[in-house]
Structure 1
Amino acid sequence: MGKRFAVLRNGEALLRDRRGNFGLMTGLLLPILLGTAGAGMEATRVMQVKQEMQAALDSATLAAATAARVEEGKRSNKDYADEVNRRMAAYTGELSKGKDGATGSDGDQGKKKPDLDTIAERSDSKRGMSFKISATLNAEIPLAPLISFIGIRTVKVGVSSTAQSAFSKGAALSLYLVLDRSGSMSFKTDTVDNSKNACPNYTEKSWPKVAFTSPCYVTKIQSLKEAVSYLTDTLNKADPSYQDRGSPESELVRTGAIAYNSAPFPPRNLSWGTSQAGSYVNAIDKYPQGGTDASLALKTAFAALRSDNSYEKQQHADKGSDTFQRYIVLMTDGEMTSSAIDSQVRSTCSAVKADGIQIFTVAFMAPAKGKSLLQYCASSPDNYYDPENMEEIVAAFGEIARKAASTPTRLMN
């Protein structure tokens, strides 16, 4: 009987002894604690994988949309969709590898292959052709064994991407010419004018009076007029909505012009087509006079094109263009009359660029200070030109027109 009571007393003592509770609780909670910590690390890793998937898919859709634009849609929609698949093949192959490097469909060694779905579409109209490349990528990302105790071995991650591009014979745009018509624009170039036997070949030394001499040389202002004519012709040829003497002349292109010497001349406000701006330039005097101050003329162009000017936006919207490109072409053959004016022009150029308007600049046979100013004002080095003769300024204005009429590729995520 005594032995029985001794056993009972020992059992009760064991139950009352709490010295082993910490070890017992730790054993029970450790997997949960480790799993919680592991879940946080896995969440971070999964987000990194998702970002990588997004970047890879964006790159592939953008490349396919760009190819469609550059090739002018010569391949089929399926081909452009396959272009995305081809560019993603190596990446999706890496995603499909299991923890041990094996690839499978649903087996233990591999994981389910990523699902890549791509659609290429195009829309054709009289203005040209637009493309939309859309893709979705879904993949199962394996989780670390540390948190597999909760029964979740993988997590599904999905991303999508859409890129748009277009090629056309023209694009919706508003372009404002800001042109120098100061006295130095009366000076001769090195190009002979074979239509005349003799003429007043003005130079900096002979200005403002000179006798008629032979041969006759083309003046700077004549060269500018030829260049603007080439620009308008190029825009018209690139514009599928252009109608000679139509009303309106165009449904895509709006142009305006303002000339300046020591002060701005009355402008030709933006209007549909190119004929009115072209006529304005052609009407400039054969032998302009005056100093050089582009500050107010540039502000006039900026005011017409700035983003908070709802009028210009509404004009394009009424013709079915939800978006349009805005351009200013700033040209001079000299330097501003004073450093204060130079600073004012630079300040306005900064505001123009900050507003999203692209500036093309043309320093025609200009001195160093004039070139420095226009290099600063240009939206990019590719938007700056410094022609030294008639042929080069005509080519420059033609290239400006071609750039203005192009349509970029856009990522639409």
Structure 2
Amino acid sequence: MCQHMIFFWRLGDVKVFERVFRKLAKDEHGNFGIMSALLAPVLIGAGGVAIDVASMLHTKTGFQAAADAASLAASAALGTGKVSKQEAEQLASQFLSTHMHNMGYQTYESDIAITSKQSLNGSTEWTVDVGATAIHKNSGLSKVLGVTDKPVGVAATSVSVSGLKNAFSMYFVLDKSGSMLASTSQVKHQGRCTYYWLNSTATALYSQQKSPCYYTQIEALKNATNAMFDKFEKADPKKMYMRFGSVAYSDVQESNSALAWGVDNSRSNIDNLEAVGGTNSADAFKTAYRALGTLSEVTTHTLKNGVVLPKKYLVFMTDGENNSNSADKKTLQHCAAAKTLGITIYSIAFNAPKGGKELLSACASSAETYFDAKDADELLKAFESIAADAAGDAPRLTQ
């Protein structure tokens, strides 16, 4: 059969073809041969189309990832407030170029657009649109059916905010009991000073002169909160969007500083804390969550900065255990009440025993807002993490 077909195409003799066709038509094998010959291009083309469709989908997925990465990179940079619109466009272009070249596309069309909008609270919302189009080359198999190379296009949009990231009120509930006088492992200076330590049951505090000199736990707390306050002051220098309050406790509530604009009052209150007394967190926690939960706290924000739904945070820290089970029970009741009011609770167990950790873990809004700080360095990191979480919103993809 193949020999007959080749002979026909070479001679171009219609009569020869007719004779061959009639002969094949009388033979079942000939019929099958003709059908195979006629269907072969279709089958080959169909297989090629299936392969190319799968390849095109894979390519589009890669293009989309490239556009997403470029858009997010630019919006994240804009969110820091440290790059210009032009620099962000260049950054997006570089990200897109790197990803496209890695996929083997040296030639492509791109469209990068960055727009901004001023919000009522004084922040700037940035929208980064990234589009990319390239020609996807089909295999020779698809071209049997006349299928040509097709353009593949994708688009990505992300949003970030610069200037102010958040408007919020934050209340600190801090342990100042006698155990907070215990020394940490963090060196303060190389000279001599009093070193404090607790006995194994944490019921007695001992001291001796020792060098080098180590920070006490109450000093480590002040260092950590001051580092946090420094970040907040930089983020809100005009004291327009962030309000802070702080209350300390030993076996009773002490040193309450009501919610106020800026960090000054709470910074001063915490800096003046002295470690003394037992441990009962219930009343101090109640003071904090009730202050945060009032309607007046919302309207105070709205009247000053236009934010109608400011976020509310409570930072709860202890290095020990409450002196009574009833104090634990009351504190947990207050924790539950705070959560129903939409207050996010961050809890920090600072070198705390099992009972203290269990209380703070149960009180925290989630596993992500509970911190087990075993030393001064981890305490500082916990407060830094809370500051970053409270003051900032990550850029997000919207398309």
TM-score where L is the length of structure 2 = 0.60
1:253 aligns with 2:242: yes
Give the Cα–Cα distance (whole angstroms) in 2 for the partners of residues 144 and 123 of structure 1: 46
Give the Cα–Cα distance (whole angstroms) in 1 for the partners of residues 355 and 270 of structure 2: 25
Alignment equivalent of 2:89, drawn from 62, 70, 81: 81
The answer for the alignment partner of 1:64 in structure 2 is 74
Report deviation, 1:142: 1.3
2:347, 2:361 within 8 Å by CA — same for their partners in 1?
Answer: no
Residue 85 of structure 1 aligns to a residue in which SS? helix
1:268, 1:277 within 8 Å by CA — same for their partners in 2?
Answer: yes
Bigger mean CA offset, 120-129 vs 38-47: 120-129
What does 1:307-318 correspond to in 2, within 5 Å? Answer: none
Alignment equivalent of 1:359, drawn from 346, 351, 363: 346
What does 1:9-28 correspond to in 2, within 5 Å? Answer: 17=26, 19=28, 20-28=30-38
RMSD (Å) for aligned C-alpha atoms:
5.8
Distance verdict in 2 for CA 1:232–1:15, change over 3 Å: closer
Give the Cα–Cα distance (whole angstroms) in 1 for the partners of residues 263 and 63 of structure 2: 47
1:181, 1:261 within 8 Å by CA — same for their partners in 2?
Answer: yes
Give the Cα–Cα distance (whole angstroms) in 2 for the partners of residues 120 and 70 of structure 1: 15
Report deviation, 1:16: 7.4
Higher strand share: 2
1:95, 1:114 within 8 Å by CA — same for their partners in 2?
Answer: no
Give the Cα–Cα distance (whole angstroms) in 2 for the partners of residues 206 and 93 of structure 1: 62
The answer for the alignment partner of 2:189 in structure 1 is none
**Deviation string, structure 1 residues 193-240 (Cα, Å, up to 9, x no partner):** xxxxxxxx998899899xxxxxxxx99779867876775575345315
2:167, 2:307 within 8 Å by CA — same for their partners in 1?
Answer: yes
The answer for the alignment partner of 1:239 in structure 2 is 236
Question: Which structure 1 residue ranges, 5 or more long, are not aligned?
Answer: 1-9, 98-102, 104-112, 191-200, 210-217, 243-249
Distance verdict in 2 for CA 1:235–1:68, change over 3 Å: closer
Report deviation, 1:47: 1.2
Distance verdict in 2 for CA 1:294–1:17, change over 3 Å: farther
2:125, 2:161 within 8 Å by CA — same for their partners in 1?
Answer: yes
The answer for the alignment partner of 1:411 in structure 2 is 397
The answer for the alignment partner of 1:331 in structure 2 is 317
2:56, 2:136 within 8 Å by CA — same for their partners in 1?
Answer: yes
Q: Which amino acid aligns with 1:119?
A: A
Alignment equivalent of 2:172, drawn from 173, 177, 190: 177
Report deviation, 1:331: 0.6
Report deviation, 1:153: 1.6
1:330, 1:359 within 8 Å by CA — same for their partners in 2?
Answer: yes
Give the Cα–Cα distance (whole angstroms) in 1 for the partners of residues 33 and 75 of structure 2: 62
Question: Which structure 2 residue ranges, 5 or more long, are not aligned?
Answer: 1-18, 185-195, 206-214
Distance verdict in 2 for CA 1:145–1:264, change over 3 Å: farther
Give the Cα–Cα distance (whole angstroms) in 1 for the partners of residues 77 and 398 of structure 2: 16
Counting matched residue pairs gives: 349
1:157 aligns with 2:152: yes
2:348, 2:382 within 8 Å by CA — same for their partners in 1?
Answer: no
Distance verdict in 2 for CA 1:268–1:42, change over 3 Å: farther
The answer for the alignment partner of 2:143 in structure 1 is 148
Report deviation, 1:50: 0.8
Give the Cα–Cα distance (whole angstroms) in 2 for the partners of residues 117 and 90 of structure 1: 15
What does 1:5-404 correspond to in 2, within 5 Å? Answer: 17=26, 19=28, 20-70=30-80, 72-73=82-83, 76-93=84-101, 113-123=107-117, 127-168=122-163, 171-180=166-175, 182=177, 184=179, 187=181, 235-242=232-239, 250=240, 252-255=241-244, 289-292=277-280, 297=285, 319-321=305-307, 327-335=313-321, 357=344, 359=346, 361=348, 363=350, 366=352, 370=356, 385-386=373-374, 400-401=386-387, 404=390
Give the Cα–Cα distance (whole angstroms) in 1 for the partners of residues 257 and 284 of structure 2: 14
**Deviation string, structure 1 residues 132-164 (Cα, Å, up to 9, x no partner):** 322100122111221223322212221112233
Give the Cα–Cα distance (whole angstroms) in 1 for the partners of residues 118 and 72 of structure 2: 20
Residue 144 of structure 2 aligns to a residue in which SS? helix
Give the Cα–Cα distance (whole angstroms) in 1 for the partners of residues 251 and 171 of structure 2: 19
Residue 150 of structure 1 aligns to a residue in which SS? coil
Report deviation, 1:51: 0.9
**Deviation string, structure 1 residues 234-257 (Cα, Å, up to 9, x no partner):** 534531552xxxxxxx4x224455
Q: Which amino acid aligns with 1:62?
A: L
Distance verdict in 2 for CA 1:371–1:162, change over 3 Å: same
